[in-house]
Each structure stands twice: as structure tokens, then as C-alpha cells.
Amino acid sequence: MSRRRQFEPIVISGIGLIASVGADRESVWKAVKAGKSGVRRMGERFQRDFGTGIAAPVDIELDYPGQVKHTTLSMRAAREALADADVDFSTVDLERFACAISGHMGDTGGVLYADGSPQVRDPALPPWWTQWLPNTSCVAVANHFGLHGPRISHSTACASGLIDIMAAADRIRDEHCDIALAGSSEVIHPLMAAGFQSMRVLASHDDPAQAPRPFDRNRNGFVMGEGAAMFVIERLSHAQRRGARIYAELAGTRLMSEGHHITSLDIESNGLAHLIDTTLRDADIAPYDVQYINAHGTGTHQNDIMESRGIRQALGPAADRIWVSSTKSMLGHLINAAGSVELAITTLALRDGFAPPTMNLTDPDPEVGLDCIPLVGRASNRMTNAVKISVAFGGHMAAVALRRWNDAAEGFGSGDFRRAAA
């Protein structure tokens, strides 16, 4: 029996989003719909410090000098999500309000230089040890808004964003809380950049915007990106009592692993196929009822082939009719925040009945064999169900199936939600 039948639905009532192409939810979504890229050539200092000449960073002023940029991004996205959900803190039980924000790189200002000498640090800045833990943003955001329910912070590589949203939903189902703020952020860090450079997985191109090329025969890796996405999720009855507007239902969620290799993927894709199949079963959604999949889509040959095989194996003949795209082609790979940012994009795609494109897909790889929406997005009044997939180093795999809350017959548009009856 699917959890949809066993438990009360968990719904999305608020979204906050920031990325290289926009400072808020609607500007990011507008840019993604139009195929705008946030990837650009970086200056000499950035290349010297981070070892990469192109990236998709977010230019943002910190809330205070010395603040970890992850926290700035998380706080901005959290404010937008809470405002979008119209949360009235005077009427919500803050003891039952969870906060789930993925782990991240902390303040490394206390790390010694290669010669063993200490870094000189401005004494007016916050001490580095107050911000070096991976749960720094989770604590800071929860404390700022007075959220005293469960606090959750996973570090599961590229699946982190999805997994913390799933964990928050599970805590609601387990009745540990009624409502949660959940998501993740990512900032390019020298240690992470150096690791990816050593693995030779970072893309290059004379035109930076064309470097990330998921599913294209001429792909050569991914581009690192920055950003954050936060969601307000809650039990349906809780949303109804608040008179909340609802984007979508978290209809099915599944978390699995594969023990193939720490970084390499099982090219036969049996694990991913099982993940997708069980996610749809959990959601009580048939393969032919899925209209859109937001793929992990890194733009590496290994990921693209493995993921496309997994989708086809799980969905069978229905895979020929499903639209698949990778928004990493515009936003870069946000690592810890990839799952949450791309789930936000997927939710907005359902809201507006518009599947975003895969940019730079000018020569589709025949091994992929799926409709990956090259260059121009597509509108449809059939978009009611979608799936977001995350595949991470370490064997972490996660998937979320979304069901659009209002019926397709009610029409699509940014202002069109079914308002829950009080």
C-alpha cells in the first residue's frame, strides 16, 4: 500500500529560491523558462582561489561581515518561502515547526596555511569556530525564526537537498511536527573545487554559457554553481486550517543506495530503475501518468547514460512520451543544493504547465534516447505529475514524485492555486 493511502498528504505551501540567474523565486523561474544561463567566465582572483575559470556564482551581500555565505543564501530563501506560505508565527505552534537544512562547508578561516602558519583574521569578524560545523545554516535559520521543532541536517553529497526535504516530510508523518522549513544551499568552496578539478569532471568551453551540455554528444563535464531553495511543507489539514495556497503534493518519496563505487555509477542502472519504480508506486502514479522528469543530468557521460537507462528501464514504453530536462545546463551543478533548487524548478513547472529546456543540447547523444527538451521549453495543459531525481557520490540516490494540486482543467498560471478550505 502506498503511503499516500496510509497517511494524510504532505503539501508544499511556500517556495524560496535564489540562483545565479535571479535573486528570488519568480526571477529565477522566468530566466530558466527562457533558457538563460548563469554560467560566466570568472576573474583571475576567482580562478586562482578556486581553480576554475568558469562558474555560476551568486553575487550577494552578506547579512553581516564574515557571515558564511551559505547562511546568507539560506536565510534569503527561507524568508521568501515563509512569506510565500503566509506563515503567521503568532498562530503557528513553533514547538512543532521543524527546520531541515542540508549540511555544507563551514568557515575554514582557522585552517593553517600549507607552511603551518595560522591565517591572520580580522578580530571584528565572527570567530571561525562559530560557523565551521556543517549544520551552521540550519541552526542560524531555525534560531532566527524561532523554530523549535526537530532540526535536521544531512550531508549526502548531491542528494542532500532532496533528502532533507524527505526527512522533514517523514517527521511530519511521524507526528513529530506539523510543518517544516526544508531545503539547502551551496557555495563554491576551494576544497570542493579542487576535488572536482582533480577528478577532471569540470566542463570547459570557449563560451562559458555553453560549457554545461547534459545529454549532448559533445559534453565534457559540469560547471559548479551557487544558490539555495527552501520549502514550507506541511500536513494537508494544517495547511487547510491556515487557509494556505498549495503548489503540489509530495506524493511519493524514496531513498536508496548502490554499493557500486564511491564515485562511479552502475551503468546497468538497476538501482536507479528500482528507485524510480518504487517512488511512483509510493505515489500511486502509473508511468504513463508522468509528464516531466527533472533529471540529475550532470553532463558527464557516465551520469547521462546511467540515468537515461534507469528512466527507460523503470518506465518502459512510457519513457518515449515523457519530457526530461536538466536545468544544470543553465544553473550549473549546485552539489548540496542541487536537489532542492531543482525540486523548486519542478514544482514551478507543474504550477505553470511548462517544462524547462536543456540548454546547449545541439547534438543529442543517441545512447540517451529520451526527449530531453533541447534548447526551447514546452508548454502543456497535461502536466499534473512530475519526478525529480538526485544521484550522488557515495551511492546516495533519492527521488520525489510531485502531484500538481489543482486540476489541469482549472488552468495554469502563476496566480492560479486551489485555496484550501478553512
Active centre residues (catalytic) = 158, 296, 333
Query: CA-to-CA distance for 146 and 258, rounded, in angstroms?
Result: 38
Is residue 352 within 8 Å of residue 412, measured between CB atoms?
yes
CA dist 243 to 240, 260, 352, 398, Å? 5, 47, 21, 31
Q: Give the C-alpha separation, 369 to 355, whole Å.
A: 18
Strands 396-404 and 248-257, bridge-based pairing: antiparallel
Distances from the Cα of 190 to the Cα of 169, 196, 319, angstroms: 33, 10, 39
Q: What cell does 75 get?
A: 536565510
Query: Which residues have a Cβ under 8 Å from the Cβ of 123 and sit 6 or more positions away?
Result: none
208: DSSP letter: G
- Strand segments (E) across 54-188: 54-55, 97-101, 151-152, 179-186
Eight-class DSSP state of 24 = S
How far apart CA 302 and CA 267 sit, in angstroms, is 7
**What is the rounded CA–CA span in Å between residue 96 and residue 241?**
15
Whether 163 and 398 have beta carbons less than 8 Å apart is answered as yes
42 vs 21: CA distance, rounded Å? 15
DSSP conformation class of 360: T
Question: Could you tell me whether strands 227-235 and 179-186 are parallel, antiparallel, or unpaired per DSSP bridges?
Answer: antiparallel
Q: How far apart are CA 399 and CA 413, in angstroms?
A: 26
- From residue 62, alpha-carbon distances to 58, 79, 160, 341, 393 in Å are 11, 15, 24, 20, 30
Which residue, among 407, 412, 347, has the nearest Cα to 14 in the 3D structure? 347
